[in-house]
Homo-oligomer: A and B are copies of this chain.
Amino acid sequence: MAANGADVLRARDEATCRIREILDRVGDKWSLTVISELGQESRRFTELKNAVPGISQRVLTATLRGLERDGLVRRTVHPVVPPRVDYELTPLGRTLLDTAWTLMTWALEHMDEIDEARTSYDHAN
């Protein structure tokens, strides 16, 4: 890992927009969840739909298309009947997996603190 926080900040002026553009993909409502789901093994469309409760078919399709476009996910269509489509992480997608895990782990570890803060904040107003 070459860049550190200071590098990120130094490059900020040129790249803030670019970073944000990419965080939009990665940080959107479902992408990290889908990526972490694909981290284990390749999945079929319906398997993903069931594995990610609450996501609609429409949005799952859009999410997967976006991830595929960004080279994070590979979509493989098997010419069989009934159709079978497998999704798996690309090597690039797999490099994101570690970071995704870090973020999700953070969320898990600090969930309670955040809950307390929210309760406290809401109670104060």
Q: Which residues of A contact B (CB under 8 A)?
A: 1-5, 7-9, 11, 13, 15-20, 22-30, 32-33, 36, 39-40, 52-54, 68-72, 92, 95-99, 101-111, 113-114, 116-118, 120-122
Contacts and interface: CB of A to CB of B under 8 A. Distances in A.
A95 B107 contact: no
Nearest to A25: B114
A72 B121 CA distance: 12
19 contacts: A1-B109, A5-B39, A5-B105, A7-B105, A15-B108, A17-B53, A18-B107, A18-B108, A22-B111, A23-B107, A25-B114, A27-B28, A68-B121, A69-B117, A70-B117, A71-B118, A92-B117, A95-B110, A102-B102
A105 B95 CA distance: 12
Contact of A8 (B4, B9, B22, B108): B108
Contacts of A17: 53-54
Given A20-B54, A71-B114, 17 more contacts: A4-B101, A8-B108, A13-B53, A18-B108, A18-B111, A19-B33, A19-B104, A19-B108, A22-B110, A23-B104, A23-B107, A26-B107, A27-B28, A70-B118, A71-B113, A96-B110, A103-B103
